[in-house]
Structure 1
Amino acid sequence: MGRWTQYDEDDYRLPEGMKRTGYDADEGRYYFRDSAGGTWRSAEGSEYGGLTRVSGPPASVAGPTATDDDDLEAAPTYSNGYQLLNNDPNSTMAPKPHIDINASAYRTLFPFFLLIAVVLLLVWRLVLSPGLSTRESCCGNTKAYFVQPGDSCWDIAQAHGIPLDKLQTLNPKLQCETLLPGSTYQFSISVRTDNSHLFTDTKNRLLLQPLLISPTDLHLLVIYGVSTPLLSGAETHSPQWHSPETAAPVLSTMSNIYQLSGGGEPDVANDDTTTTLALTSPRATPTSATPTATLDQATVYGVSTSGVHKFLGVPYASPPVNNLRFSQPVVASSYSGNISANNFGYSCPQQNASLVSSFFHDVFHRRRATVSGTIQVDPTWTDVNFDDDNRPPESEDCLTVNIMRPDNSNSSSNLPIVVWIVGGGFETGTTYYYDDDAALLVRRSVELGEPLMYVSMNYRVSGWGFLASQETKAVNATNLGLRDQRAALQWINKYIANFGGDPSRVTLWGQSAGAISSSLHMLTNNGDPAGLFRGAFMQSGAPIPVGDITRGQVWYDQIVNQTNCTGQNDTLNCLRSVPYEDLKIVINRTPNYYDYTSLDLVWVPRADGDFLPDNPQNMVLNGTVANIPIVSGNCADEGTVFSLTSLNITSNDDFRSFLKFNYLSDVPDQNVSDVLELYPDNRNEGSPFNTSIFNAITSQYKRNAAFQGDVVFQAPRRFFVQQRFASQNIWSYQSSRGMDTPFVGAYHSSDLSYHVLDDYLIRFVTNLDPNNGTEPGWPKYDNSSKQILWFTHDNNDTGVQLSTDDYRVPQMTYLTGLGLAYPL
């Protein structure tokens, strides 16, 4: 593109009536306009002379047309060497008055003028406007705050003399990461029972969500596999969480929400042994239809809806805040007061995901690229709902359980229990998104004549739950997310009978990180479940090869450095005092599973010598495993969704670098070369599998997806079931449902989306056997037949067949060996 320079002076000789209009630096040519409007240019590299016509004058003034060879006589030159400029109207050499406009030059400069205007507008908005504005007051218990550049939620809380946690509790719509400088917000600073505490702007609008996919949105789509937003005809979810129509104080967790029976707020800052929960809820106004349960001296009030009794957001441990942050959970030992349990509790702080929604929007519109390159939209799926104003906000005060039972049951029903452990890559995860699916499962159990109770728990994730270092190991503050889960299981064992559940008939159920967690509970405590569970149903997750806790030291040190805790005698204790908002920002700077590191996770369970004494796969080899019945299976294309942010891998060298940087950093180069041969540069063999050359977003995408799905999900499952089949009853499966989904195939969590396993799960929870006498029967796994149940692409009852667990044997065997020798 030419770079033009306008001059207001000309020091070279020009023919009479000729005016310089610009200079093209790329061509090295000067451009001129004559008095008739014609355009001329100089020879390349010449300052003057050799002028040739480029275009003629406008038709209205054009005279005889000159040829390209026409030469123009040079204008007179004065003794000083400068040519008389023909822009002096008093000059005898001046042409008749004529206005020349270089339209091309002005068009080229237009974007720069526009940019300057935008910058000036922003300066006025962010700098000048705030200084001219004032803070406004509103009404009663609300305050107005004008956001200055650089303000945070901490500044808002400080300005009005309230704790940050309280500010966030009273204003659940408050999005601290997206405060808009120059905007005025109304927010509540004390408890109200009307709608005025909702967090709104001055136009009384709820705050908009960020444009990036939030972690909970992202996992709703590709990790959780929830059916409600993905499949047409799904049940509509109508939660009670701080809905604008029915807004009331959210009373579903502990210290920041409930009022102590003695008044005021609970103080856990200096007492990490306090486990008595004295809870009084102003909303506990039961009716004759309100389900209730007792917890020690407390009464729990739930909600009855669509055939299901729900008790939501019941705290099972003290809030892990202040000196309990980065500490083992303190299980509640007694309760008193009233508990309103009709809303989900807070989500634990989530790791921010880096992937924007546009690609997933296209994929889950079921857009299929044809050979000709055209796009056809499959209308059988509904839009993905990325925005959910009803989801619970995040808080460290998040350790709660949710209980659902059939509405014809009571405290003496003695129901078998399925305990759902949510997935999310150990970086995200909240129980809220399974509300509809859980209710559907409970109702289906009644239809099958095998009613059950559903229980789920929130647990700490990301850096809040899996901070790993020598410092955390020294005080047994390791694998806190797993310890939260264990604490919830202990709570269930103690209290679930009060809700009508049978604590002797508990089955763990998990998907992805939830399934991996379930398998690790089978290993801890020397493989003794301690009466907490009797079976495990694991979808896309098994014991993974993880190394020592100190492999996470680099991330601990990064967080310490970025929170100004470096040099402190006790850096872990220093981190406990860092303001929540500041710490969350720092943790979010670490990679997540949609960064280049992908499933080589930063925040993951690690061997700590306590909860996990060793690499979990070594423990499996040594037989340190709970001898209980299990179901373990996979989706066909586990790795596709995790390869979408590695699309810059476009060559064999790129793929090798990716492996060395992530999964195989400690592995000798020859072993890396072996892996490259086992996963060749061949689109026909990659994932989505069995799709020929199609769905190859890049030349290496399907190759990468095949490797990642095998190394994290497929190979660990096969290793686990083949090591344990002789000691316990095992059933295994493979799901190909949804394999025609463009680009991602039978993606990770698609088995949840299609509910292919619901009936098998219900029967397993009740009978510890997924079979019900129908065909085909689901045989137990053994190393001779290696039979598994295969859910084919046909989404109907006939789409179930028996198959053999013999695909990609050399690849998975090799990866298993690497995992034992070089754990992640």
Structure 2
Amino acid sequence: MKSVVSITAGWALLYQHVSAVDPRVNLGYSTYTGVPLSNGVTQWLGLRYAAPPLGDLRFAAPQDPLATNETLEADAHGPICLSTLSSGQAAPLSSSTMKEDCLFMDIYAPSNASCESKLPVMFFIQGGGFNTNSNANFNGSGLVVAGQRDMIVVTFNYRVGPYGFLAAQEILEGGSINNGLKDQRKALEWVQKHIEQFGGDPGHVVLSGDSAGAASINLQLTAYGGRDDHLFHASAAESQSFATINTVGESQFMYDNLVIRTGCATSNSTLACLRNLTADDIQRQNINTPFPGAQTAPLYMYGPTLDNDFIKEYTYPAYANGNFVQLPAIYGDTTNEGTIFTPNTTSSYGEANTFIKAQFPYITLSQLRAWNALYPVEAYPSFPSTGRFWRSTATGYGEMRYNCPGLFINAVYARLGVPAWNYRWDVRDPPSEASGAGVTHTVEINAIWGPELIPGAPASYLPGGVNAAIVDVVQGYWTSFVRAYDPNVLRKAGTPVWEAWRAGNEWRSLKFRTNATGMEDVDAGQRGRCEYLSGIGEALRQ
């Protein structure tokens, strides 16, 4: 771990270099020319980190980029990966901004960094439920500035939906499983090989991610049984998500349904047939269908698969058994994780239980009965023009999928003596509060990255807004963690110490609230609910 002295010395040394990184960077397979910005940051957009996943590479593990011997202008984002949308929505077809050929990366680095600067690297894994790239093309220059131009930010796209997570016996035999996660691994290997040319330190890479990106952090930490390939050195997860993980056999229905809908059931080799289709042929049939035993389609059908290789255990037991790379970490959630996912028309226990069963198909009737008792409708507020069961169902879903896994992991870290911190984002946005949505899933990402750089950020977070003051606070903690593996070392002056969750100081979390950020005890009611939900997590295939 780097000390404050070494960081400060490194910062001074950086400015002694008379030559900064050349915007033109030769990666061996291609040369890319970046764009210096007026804020002292240079950006390289649209760097290819893997070969186009087309033809025989559809449903295959990522391969090295092909050599072009060209000099390319790195001044535009690469296409976003093709997505699978929620039930009832048609999947988007290929376009100039969304294609199957989508394995591209963006890098933001201080313009005056040199190849010897050894700057910390924040490697961001975007969310989207493993069905979309929902945080694509985030502008990392603001974070580099917030980190006193003492860090580098890397963002990238990875395959989602059937392209990244279709699983079946046919793919096991003729392709590869969990390719979206393997894309992430490929990008991490790329960083190890090339980041020094941008001023970065391959020995100081911090994973950061939200929602499915945070779930990806969990799955990278537990990959191959917790094998440490020295690709990363700390992690910061926003709303870590524990969804259902099916085996290859349990996932077969998704493959079979796609084969039938595309007309490939007439082929002697259904996998070859799927590979020969155009991406748009697949997109026209790319829909969510119910899990066996459920009555409605889930929010996200495609996802990581228990393949006994990349994923050897469900996530709950993987952590409980200590089978993960044990490095400094941040885990945290928002106060109202489930409100944007749960239908706000939910008006009965029947509708609530149908929704929960759709997301967690292995939940039993006795477990649903216990879940109903944990979230009685009378304990939650009602809002105009919404179903009476919306908020109770949303709280239950949010805790099952997001809050309880984070608290569970922090408890494991404390037991093992691994440095870890927990937070609850409770910054109140007036319009969201009035609607009943509250403090919604991953809303803190707007403050971490800087709301002026995030399209659609809440107006209250922008300069002059009632929550503008929280931006510098959270950026101070976040960039401190990236730079020093500790959120306190380089935090904003005057902000409280973020106490680690450790033996003797368990169940202590940092509550972020504008002008009132401070430590709190985890709510006793939530602790009790999470004790039950985490206890059945392995049975739910989480």
Mark the runs of 5 or more structure 1 residues left unpaired by the alignment: 1-287, 357-390, 686-691
Is the alpha carbon distance of 1:696 and 1:614 closer, same or farther for their aligned partners in structure 2, counting shifts above 3 Å? farther
Q: Which residue of 1 aligns with 2:421?
A: 731
**Structure-2-length-normalised TM-score:** 0.83
Aligned residue runs from structure 1 range 444-593, under 5 A: 444-446=146-148, 451-475=150-174, 477-541=176-240, 544=243, 546-588=245-287, 590=289
SS at match of 1:533: coil
* Secondary structure of the structure 2 residue equivalent to 1:747: coil
Q: Do the aligned partners of residues 787 and 719 (structure 1) sit closer, same or farther apart at CA in structure 2, a change above 3 Å counting?
A: closer
Q: Is the 8 A contact 1:544 1:616 kept in 2?
A: no
CA deviations over 1:473-525 (Å, ceiling 9, x no partner): 33461111000000010011011111211111100000011011011100013
Q: Is the aligned partner of 1:822 residue 2:521?
A: no
- Contact between 1:344 and 1:402, CA under 8 Å: does it hold in 2? yes
Per-residue CA deviation, residues 580-630 of structure 1 (Å, 9 max, x unaligned), is 1111111135579xx95454x311112111110121222112211101100
**2:419–2:502 contact (8 Å) kept in structure 1:** no
Residue 702 of structure 1 aligns with which residue?
A: 391
Query: Paired residue for 2:464?
Result: none
Q: Distance in 2 between matches of 1:496 and 1:729?
A: 26
Alignment of 1:81-480 (within 5 A): 291-296=23-28, 298-307=30-39, 308-332=41-65, 336-353=69-86, 393-429=97-133, 432-435=136-139, 438-446=140-148, 451-475=150-174, 477-480=176-179
The answer for the alignment partner of 2:452 in structure 1 is none
String of CA shifts for 1:447-495, please: whole Å, max 9, x gaps. xxx6100111110011111102222233461111000000010011011
CA distance in 2, matches of 1:393, 1:342: 14
CA contact 2:240–2:402 (8 Å) conserved in 1:
yes
Residue 528 of structure 2 is matched in structure 1 by 810
RCO comparison, higher one (Cα < 8 Å, 6+): 2
CA distance in 2 between counterparts of 1:760 and 1:576 reads 46
**Equivalent residues of 1:511, 1:749 under 8 A apart:** yes
| Distance in structure 2 (CA, Å) of the matches to 1:526 and 1:589 | 30
Partner secondary structure for residue 653 of structure 1: helix
Do 2:375 and 2:396's aligned partners in 1 also have CA atoms closer than 8 Å? yes
Aligned 8 A contact 1:348 1:460 in 2: yes
Contact 2:49 2:104 in 1 (8 A): yes
Please, which of 739, 744, 754 is the counterpart of residue 437 of structure 2? 744
Distance 2:193 2:521 in 1: 42
Amino acid aligned to 1:440: G
Distance change in 2, residues 1:715/1:764 (3 Å): same
Change (3 A) 1:652 1:526: closer
How many Å separate the matches in 1 of 2:484 and 2:247? 38
Structure 1 residue 784 displacement after superposition: 4.0
> Distance between the aligned counterparts of 1:656 and 1:431, measured in 2?
30
Quick check: 1:659 aligned with 2:356? Answer: yes
TM superposition shift of 1:343: 0.6
SS in 2 for 1:460: coil
Secondary structure at 1:587 match in 2:
coil
Q: Compute the displacement of 1:551 (Å).
A: 2.3
Measure the CA separation in 2 of the matches of 1:297 and 1:485.
Answer: 20
CA deviations on 1:53-110 (whole Å, 9 max, x unpaired) are xxxxxxxxxxxxxxxxxxxxxxxxxxxxxxxxxxxxxxxxxxxxxxxxxxxxxxxxxx
| Counterpart amino acid of residue 369 in structure 2 | S
Contact 2:499 2:510 in 1 (8 A): no
Q: How does 1:619-658 map to 2 (within 5 A)?
A: 619-643=318-342, 646-658=343-355
CA deviations 1:140-192 (Å, max 9, x no partner) are xxxxxxxxxxxxxxxxxxxxxxxxxxxxxxxxxxxxxxxxxxxxxxxxxxxxx
Mapped pair 1:765 → 2:482? yes
Task: Confirm or deny that 1:611 pairs with 2:310.
Answer: yes
Deviates more, 1:650-659 or 1:558-567: 650-659
Whole-angstrom distance in 1 between the partners of 2:109 and 2:510: 31
Q: CA deviation at 1:300?
A: 1.6
Is the contact between residue 598 and residue 642 of structure 1 (CA under 8 Å) also seen in structure 2?
no
Structure 1 pair 743–433 and aligned structure 2 pair: CA distance change class (3 A): farther
Aligned AA (1:394): M
Once residues 338 and 197 of structure 2 are traced to their aligned partners in structure 1, the CA distance between those partners, rounded to angstroms, is 42
Amino acid at match of 1:720: I
Partner Cα separation in structure 1 for residue 538 and residue 520 of structure 2 = 28
Counterpart residue number, 1:200: none
Q: Equivalent residues in 2 for 1:685-724 (5 A)?
A: 685=380, 692-694=381-383, 697-724=386-413
Q: Distance in 1 between matches of 2:203 and 2:510?
A: 31
Matched residues in 2 for 1:565 and 1:399: separation?
Answer: 27
The structure with the larger Rg is 1
1:666, distance to aligned residue in structure 2 (A): 3.0
Tell me by how many angstroms 1:696 deviates.
7.5
Contact residue 50 and residue 62 of structure 2 kept, 8 A = yes
Q: Secondary structure at the match of 1:344?
A: coil
Is residue 2:377 matched to residue 1:681?
A: yes
Residues 800 and 787 (structure 1), Cα distance of their counterparts in 2 relative to 1, 3 Å cut: farther
Question: SS at the partner of 1:566?
Answer: helix
Secondary structure of the residue aligned to 2:393 is helix
CA distance in 1 between partners of 2:21 and 2:237 (Å)? 36
- Displacement of 1:786 in angstroms is 2.5
Q: Which residue of 2 aligns with 1:16?
A: none
Q: Deviations over 1:352-373 (max 9, x none)?
A: 34689xxxxxxxxxxxxxxxxx
Shift, 1:410, TM fit? 3.2
Identity, % of aligned pairs? 28
Counterpart-to-counterpart distance in 2, 1:634 and 1:769: 18
- CA offset digits 1:175-223 (Å, max 9, x no partner): xxxxxxxxxxxxxxxxxxxxxxxxxxxxxxxxxxxxxxxxxxxxxxxxx
CA contact (8 A) 1:295 1:336 kept: no
Tell me how far 1:760 sits from its aligned partner.
1.3
Q: Which residue identity does 1:752 align to in structure 2?
A: I
SS in 2 for 1:803: strand
Among candidates 771, 780, 804, match of residue 500 of structure 2: 780
> Cα offset for 1:822?
2.8
Q: 1:545 to 1:788 in 2, by over 3 A?
A: farther
Q: Report the RMSD for the aligned CA atoms in angstroms.
A: 2.5
Q: Give, as a single letter, the amino acid of the residue that structure 1 aligns with 2:422.
A: S
Q: Residue 279 of structure 2 aligns to which amino acid in structure 1?
A: Y
Which structure features the higher share of helix residues?
Answer: 2
Is the alpha carbon distance of 1:732 and 1:392 closer, same or farther for their aligned partners in structure 2, counting shifts above 3 Å?
farther
Distance 1:656 1:496 in 2: 48
In 2, distance between residues paired with 1:413 and 1:355? 50
Q: CA deviation at 1:408?
A: 2.0
